[in-house]
Amino acid sequence: LYCVNDNKKHPPGPRGLPILGNVFQLDPDKPWISYAKWKKIYGDLFQLNMAGQPILVLNSQKVVEDLFEKRSAKYSGRPKWPVANEITGYLDLPLLQYSELCRRMRRASDVALGIKISSNYYRVQSDQALILTHGILNQPDKWNFHVQKASISIILFILYNIPPIQSLSDARVVFMENLIDRTSKALLPGAHLVDIFPILSHLPLFLSKWKREARRDFQGYSKVFEDMFLSIKDKFVKGVEQPNSFSATLAETQKRHGMSDLECAWLAGMLYSAGQETTSTALKWFLLCMTNFPHVQEKAQEELDRVVGRARLPSFSDMKHLPYIRAIVKEVLRWQVPLAVGLPHATTEDDCYEGYFIRKGTICMVNVMGLHRDPEIYGPDADKFRPERYLNDEGMIKDEGKDGHFAYGFGHRICVGRHIANNSLFIAVATILWAVTISPVKGADGNPVKPDLEGDPGIFWRPKPFNFSTKSRFDDAEILIQQAWDDIH
Ligand code: HEM
């Protein structure tokens, strides 16, 4: 693309301090609040300067479509994360540059998690929805534990065919969580000197402690991931029959995708971190919404009574007849998006847009929370939780095949697990609402305690701790849930 902009005019943005730029002007906990403020002054596209690193902020649907969708080839890199990249041996798909390896990993994931194949996992998703429902019905005060356990069990089963976990101190969970903790700490801006002075990454190993430690950890993590993947691949090679799993599909298609064992092992391993916390965060917001908006719960339960009845539990075959349940899933992801500013992209080439020069290596953020509350996209009630917005006059889903929100990201980097996530959320929402009435707990004064609608800031936008009470929606619901629970135990 020819850039008419010879004087390299950058997108507008707030004036900052010399050298440090806008570092202290951005609200680190809720960047979308700062973004919304600057949008009013500088418009839909502005640029920040974070100690010399340009950060482009995309603030409207049009700009997002123009850059992240239509020019996805240039806007699909990632920032450089020297320490995290070193710990994961440059094999962590969400952190990879848009390289040949990234494209191979994405193709392999699309095959093993695509819309068709994702029906292979209906069974585990239904079972876990049931166990979760049983858990929150009988132990509402432990709902957090039950949500966590269900989302971990789903992803471990899909990846490696591991049976449901019983406790969060399961060795495999501890291992995965330890790796997530290690990498997310390394991702915090400025956690290591090398983030600020990239030249340090070129020091020889004996002079750089962080690199020695990272490489040592990489070896340890690789050993565990390889053992997990190879135990499944081994069965495939020997022709032993085994249940469907991501790793089994990967082993079958590995040659076609030109992937080494180590690459396959890391691809599977890193899907845990990408898929677990995101799904459980969405489930937590769903429970908060139900505690807070009884009329939505009632409307969903009317639909469930009409379509499923009270003699059996909902299943995936009901999906197309339950548009309101599906609309709730969409609306939860829109209204309280787990990754409020998505994952950062970075430009891989210089670009020119609307007369502005955008240099290669610019980090690009989308104000997803802002888009989700934008009246130009969602109408004057964009701030409200209203699943009906996704339905047409006949009460069916409006744009079948489209998400209708931006929670899964953009362009060439869009979430590869979105079909799995949509299915896990659909069946959990349907099963919980079929069996359970969720209400706020009563405070000391006897009045209902409504949860705080503000989230806890962090990498994930999660609800603040809250409680709700549950009761069986009708007598048989509890019995049927108990029977189904007994059957799978
Ligand atoms: C409600 C649940 C989920 C949400 C909200 C979510 C959201 C996202 C977002 C925002 C991104 C970044 C997209 C971008 O850079 O533009 C992403 C990437 C990714 N997601 Fe998800 N995700 C969810 C569930 C899952 C699941 C269940 C899996 C795996 C089974 C998964 C695997 C991945 C992977 C591997 C990437 C990295 C893709 C890349 O960098 O090319 N996600 N997800």
Q: Does ligand 1 come within 6 angstroms of the Cβ of 269?
A: no
Amino acid at 437: T
Whether the Cβ atoms of residue 347 and residue 77 lie closer than 8 Å to each other: yes
Q: For residue 86, what are the contacts with CB-CB under 8 A and spacing of at least 6?
A: 210, 211, 214, 215, 218
Q: Is the dihedral of CA 324, 328, 329, 334 positive or negative?
A: positive
Task: Judge whether residue 338 has pLDDT over 70.
Answer: yes
Q: Which band of pLDDT confidence, cut at 50, 70 and 90, is reported for residue 457? A: confident
**Gap from CA of 271 to ligand 1 centroid (Å):** 9
Report the residue among 415, 418, 459, 460 best suited for mutation to probe ligand 1: largest number of ligand atoms under 8 A from its CB: 415
Tell me how far apart the alpha carbons of residues 80 and 195 are, in angstroms, rounded to a whole number. Answer: 9
Give the residue-averaged pLDDT of 55-76. Answer: 97
Phi, psi torsion values for 54, nearest 5 degrees: -70, 135
Domain ranges in the chain? 1-90+342-368, 91-339+373-488
Mean pLDDT of the chain: 93
Q: For residue 90, what are the contacts with CB-CB under 8 A and spacing of at least 6?
A: 96, 101
415 is in an annotated binding site: yes
Q: For residue 84, what are the contacts with CB-CB under 8 A and spacing of at least 6?
A: 92, 95, 183, 186, 187
Tell me how far apart the alpha carbons of residues 178 and 277 are, in angstroms, rounded to a whole number. Answer: 14
pLDDT of residue 199: 63
Give the residue-averaged pLDDT of 436-445. Answer: 96
pLDDT of residue 229: 98
State which ligand 1 atom lies nearest to the alpha carbon of 158: 30
Residue 50 half-sphere exposure toward CB, CA atoms < 13 A: 17
pLDDT tens digits, one per residue of 347-371: 999 999 999 999 999 999 999 999 9
Give the residue-averaged pLDDT of 53-74. Answer: 96
Task: Judge whether residue 1 has pLDDT over 60.
Answer: no
Q: Does ligand 1 come within 6 angstroms of the Cβ of 271?
A: yes
Percent above pLDDT 70 for the chain:
94
- More confidently predicted of 8 and 33: 33
pLDDT tens digits, one per residue of 403-435: 999 999 999 999 999 999 999 999 999 999 999
Q: Which band of pLDDT confidence, cut at 50, 70 and 90, is reported for residue 26? A: confident
Give the residue-averaged pLDDT of 284-306. Answer: 98
pLDDT of residue 50: 85
How many residues in total does the chain contain? 489
CATH number, domain 91-339+373-488: 1.10.630.10
Give the residue-averaged pLDDT of 189-213. Answer: 68
- Of the candidate ranges 183-192, 264-273, 415-424, the one whose mean pLDDT is the lowest: 183-192
State which ligand 1 atom lies nearest to the alpha carbon of 411: 16
Q: Which band of pLDDT confidence, cut at 50, 70 and 90, is reported for residue 151? A: very high
Q: Whose CA is nearest to atom 7 of ligand 1?
A: 408
Q: Does ligand 1 come within 6 angstroms of the Cβ of 417?
A: yes
Give the residue-averaged pLDDT of 119-123. Answer: 96
Task: Judge whether residue 172 has pLDDT over 90.
Answer: yes
Q: For residue 300, what are the contacts with CB-CB under 8 A and spacing of at least 6?
A: 324, 325, 328, 429, 433
Whether the Cβ atoms of residue 120 and residue 249 lie closer than 8 Å to each other: no
Token pair 């509402």 in the structure block, residue? 140
pLDDT of residue 8: 81
Task: Judge whether residue 51 has pLDDT over 90.
Answer: no
Q: Does ligand 1 come within 6 angstroms of the Cβ of 387?
A: no
Tell me how far apart the alpha carbons of residues 133 and 286 are, in angstroms, rounded to a whole number. Answer: 13
Task: Judge whether residue 206 has pLDDT over 70.
Answer: no
Amino acid at 232: I
Task: Judge whether residue 246 has pLDDT over 70.
Answer: yes
**Gap from CA of 413 to ligand 1 centroid (Å):** 8
Q: Which band of pLDDT confidence, cut at 50, 70 and 90, is reported for residue 458? A: confident
Q: Does ligand 1 come within 6 angstroms of the Cβ of 113?
A: yes
Task: Judge whether residue 322 has pLDDT over 90.
Answer: yes
